[in-house]
Amino acid sequence: MTLPMISPAPGLPARVRIHEVGPRDGLQNEKTTVPTEVKAEFIHRLARAGLTTIEATSFVHPKWIPQLADAETLFPELQDLTADGVRLPVLVPNERGLDRALTLGASHLAVFASATESFAKANLNRTVAESLAMFEPVVARAKDARAHVRGYLSMCFGDPWEGRVPVHQVVSVAKSLMDLGCDELSLGDTIGVATPGHVQTLLAELNEEGVPTDTIGVHFHDTYGQALANTLAALQHGVTTVDASAGGLGGCPYAKSATGNLATEDLVWMLRGLGIETGVDLGLLTDTSTWMAGHLGRPSPSRTVRALSANPQEQ
């Protein structure tokens, strides 16, 4: 039997763009630091599997994220992919990071904001307002350089220090990011506590306040097993950009309970079952995540990777 069996459902998009975050969000949260050549091969393999947006690395100070300290060496190794039309976004935390990224010719950039004061303080050592002020020249200069800018917004649903995050608070920071000039938002459920109704409420409120759905991506964590349900809720609302991490790499270092990013394979399995195009070859992707799990010395947490590894004839 070829799985998944395909049964389309009404009210869903025909195609979804997967924003692959494994090499950046995934590897930065893994204990093991992966050698540069393994990262380069990982990203090339992801591209061969059909992923067209692959967040490659972060130009944060190496002191903060030693796992990604090789950004300067890695990024030039990926130039053949850029020539092939693969988008390789990189995270830029500040103007120094922006300078480093632009020097290497990066054309897709991302800034990382928080919807809550507690996480802004923990992650950026700034208030929300101070962090937005820090991003203002970053986004302005990125736009001057004709780069595409994604604004990550973390803690959009719940926060380990503050509990439930009010929707209006998330909308307010989201609008500020768009006002700075971001082309796209990624709404992060950093500790994985969202449920589908909460997702749809936030999306509706964003639309109401002038943030259109086609500028919104969603970034779910599977801590409580809700990532795919939340994704489906977002697709029903019209969202067509979904973040996922190959093999379920990574998590959130500030939240003990966070078991990590939605696995790209689990996402592709559901989308394929719904008849939604992604362009991804699930077999090549699963092989890639199994190979990377070998480098990390532990099995992939992705249910789909595990199931397909046990039953490869089902692909």
Among all residues, which ones are annotated catalytic? 252
| Closer residue to Mg ion, CB minimum distance, 102 or 151 | 151
User: Tokens 């926060």 map to which residue?
Assistant: 159
| Closer residue to Mg ion, CB minimum distance, 155 or 206 | 155
User: Tokens 């976004």 map to which residue?
Assistant: 89
Q: Is 244 helix (H, G, I), strand (E, B) or coil?
A: strand
DSSP secondary structure, 50-75, as one string: T-SEE--EE-S-TTT-GGGTTHHHHG
| Closer residue to Mg ion, CB minimum distance, 59 or 112 | 112
CA distances from 187 to 104, 178, 203, 218, 283 (A): 28, 13, 9, 5, 29
Residue 135, both tokens: 């991003």
Q: Which of residues 119-148 bind Mg ion (CB under 5 A)?
A: none
Provide the minimum distance between the beta carbon of 25 and Mg ion in the complex, in angstroms, as a whole number. Answer: 4
Selected range binding Mg ion among 22-30, 79-87, 196-204, 307-315, rule: CB under 5 A: 22-30
- Number of shown-chain residues binding Mg ion (CB under 5 A): 2
Number of CB atoms found within 10 A of residue 60's CB: 21
- Using an 8 Å Cβ cutoff, are 90 and 56 in contact? yes
Q: Considering only CA atoms, which of 211, 279, 195, 286 is closest in space to residue 14?
A: 279
Residue 20 in contact with Mg ion, rule: CB under 5 A: no
Q: Which of residues 62-91 bind Mg ion (CB under 5 A)?
A: none
Residue 261 in contact with Mg ion, rule: CB under 5 A: yes
Residue 25 in contact with Mg ion, rule: CB under 5 A: yes
| Closer residue to Mg ion, CB minimum distance, 97 or 217 | 217
Selected range binding Mg ion among 12-20, 21-29, 131-139, 278-286, rule: CB under 5 A: 21-29
Provide the minimum distance between the beta carbon of 258 and Mg ion in the complex, in angstroms, as a whole number. Answer: 8
Selected range binding Mg ion among 7-15, 36-44, 112-120, 258-266, rule: CB under 5 A: 258-266
Residue 278 in contact with Mg ion, rule: CB under 5 A: no
233: Cα separation from own chain's centroid: 17
Residues forming contacts to Mg ion in the complex (CB under 5 A) are 25, 261
